[in-house]
Amino acid sequence: MRVAVLFIAVCAASSVWAQETCTVYGVSDGDTVKVRCSQGKQVTIRLSGIDAPEKKQPFGQRSKQNLSALVFSKLVTVETKKLDRYGREIGKILVDGVDANLMQVQRGFAWHYKAYEREQPAIDRKVYADAENEARAARRGLWADVEPVPPWEFRHKKK
């Protein structure tokens, strides 16, 4: 019992639910990948802290292509925190120790998803917000658009 309580406390303190080494075998869009982990376990990962343009939005395909270039067919470390309402694990993807979620924001292919920023460690909140501001100022990726529409607004308009 003590071991279980200690394990839960450590996981809560680190805000990582699970950490696995996996291979990315699919990229659905700019913020969702499919991975194959130990014993052939296949999992869909929704990248935490970011929201990328939908496929039918401007820069949607380019966002997917950029994420593919970063992670497809690569051995990655997946740090997950929880499941979303669609059963996808929410997490961070690290390629050789580099945060692919953050790279999407830095390159201008995703927004820092501020609606869920409270779920991020404080350092990630700051780094992701700064990365978005820098990409916006440099007009990289989707920020080259005159009036980029955030994906959460695009999804809301479609309903």
* Active site members: 46, 54, 88
Measured between its terminal Cα atoms, the distance across the chain in Å is 47
Tokens linked to 42: 């296949």
Is residue 89 within 8 A of residue 47, CB to CB? The reply is no
Nearest to 98 by CA among 64, 75, 114: 75
| Cα–Cα dist 131/138, whole Å | 11
The Cα diameter of the chain in Å comes to 57
Place of tokens 């997946």: 78
SS3 36: strand
Amino acid at 107: R
